[in-house]
Chains A and B, each alone.
Chain A
Amino acid sequence: MIDNTLNRRQFLKSSVGVAAVAVAPGILLYGMANGGSEGASAKVRWGMLIDTSHCAEGCNDCVTACNKENGLSGGVAATDSQWIRKIEIKEIAGGRQLSLPMMCQHCENPPCVDVCPTTASFKRADGIVLVDKHRCIGCRYCMMACPYKARSFVHEALHDQNPDVPRGKGTVESCTMCVHRVDQGLQPACADACANKAILFGNLNDPDSEIAKKIRTVASVQVRADLRLNPGVRYQGL
């Protein structure tokens, strides 16, 4: 099923690309020349590597930091926004227990983007999956499509938002990988807050980055890799 859709999309993409080159080579070149100079670059793919062996059970620092940075209430009711959650898991046969943070996995092929009827859900060139709340109509298809339960809907009117993190009633939201911080050259608030340095943030496309080196040398997995969404968040020791 998935293979089929990917192939179809790739086919359409390549055929449209050929047509565009044939019809308007000037316009395409102009676009390419300007694309890299500012804004999110497709040469970058932001990602995270989460080392579960360093993630302490009962520690909630990443969640608290996220709530503070993005102005979330910190409530855990069904109607409260949660961008990142701490999850405790246990392997039933062996009894091994693990603790790990779970949030938007910033997929390369995000199902939330596929289903969005208004193209409010989108993936930025640098791999960060966001909701454009100017376009979001609050239909919540993306929440149903997401296999990671990463998205939340804002049920009540909000006040006193962080000027860098606009949020509002009637729209869906999720982890933005602290895009406002990343664009300033900082790392996400959760990675900053983790005392055990369990969250490593970086550019997956740069072979010399710390994260890319670590992914090459240690065993790490993507959650629900069988769905072939190629998430940007990977877990070590899972």
Chain B
Amino acid sequence: MFRLLTILAVFFLSFSAQAAESTPKLDIGKGGQCVEDPQFMRKNHMHLLRHQRDETMRQGVRTGKYSLKNCVECHASTKDNSVIAREDSFCVACHRFEAVKIDCFECHSGERKSAWLQRNAK
């Protein structure tokens, strides 16, 4: 019995250690809680974004709080103003970890508007 417990204990310890090790390392930009708590956002950000994008695009409602532009505004790296530029950028690091492809940035900019304006000023 004791032996079994030890084996189980060792198994769980090594499992949790492994889990802690393989958490993605993110550059969260400004970070902190924005629109919902972080755990909720981890699970549901795609639903919020998809719901709001239709209202914005098709009905012209631009006051919603779940906008992709707002995500970028807060979570873009303070170093390069982007959520997609590097391996550890906010969106890329997590999506790579979960092996989920992001299509958003094929069209949308992953950069802060202020940085884009600065670069594209005359």
Contacts and interface: CB of A to CB of B under 8 A. Distances in A.
A and B from one complex: yes
Interface of A: 38-40, 68, 122, 124-126, 130, 132-134, 157-158, 160-164, 166-169, 171, 179, 183
A167 B120 CA distance: 17
Label chain B's interface by main secondary structure.
Answer: helix
B34 interface: no
Given A39-B55, A157-B106, A163 B111 contact: yes
Contacts of A68: 120
- Between B60, B69, B72, B116, the greatest number of chain A beta carbons within 10 A of the residue's beta carbon is seen for B60
B116 A162 contact: yes
A126 B60 CA distance: 9
A129 B112 CA distance: 27
A160 B113 CA distance: 11
A171 B72 CA distance: 23
A124 B55 CA distance: 11
23 contacts: A38-B61, A38-B63, A39-B55, A39-B59, A39-B60, A40-B59, A40-B60, A125-B59, A126-B60, A130-B57, A132-B57, A134-B57, A157-B106, A158-B107, A162-B109, A162-B116, A162-B120, A163-B111, A163-B112, A166-B108, A166-B109, A167-B107, A169-B106
A124 B106 contact: no
Nearest to A167: B107
A125 B108 contact: no
Given A163-B69, A183-B62, A168 B57 contact: no
Contact of B53 (A39, A125, A134): A134
A39 B60 CA distance: 4
Interface in B8-62: 53-55, 57-62
A126 B62 CA distance: 14
Contacts of B108: 161, 163, 166
A125 B116 contact: no
Given A122-B58, A134-B53, 11 more contacts: A38-B63, A39-B61, A40-B60, A133-B107, A134-B54, A160-B109, A160-B111, A160-B116, A166-B107, A166-B109, A168-B106
Contacts of B116: 160, 162-163
Contact of A179 (B60, B63, B107, B109): B60
A58 to B, nearest CB: 22
A9 to B, nearest CB: 20
B54 to A, nearest CB: 8
A124 B109 contact: no
B77 to A, nearest CB: 15
Contacts of B72: 163
B107 A132 contact: no
Interface in B68-82: 69, 72
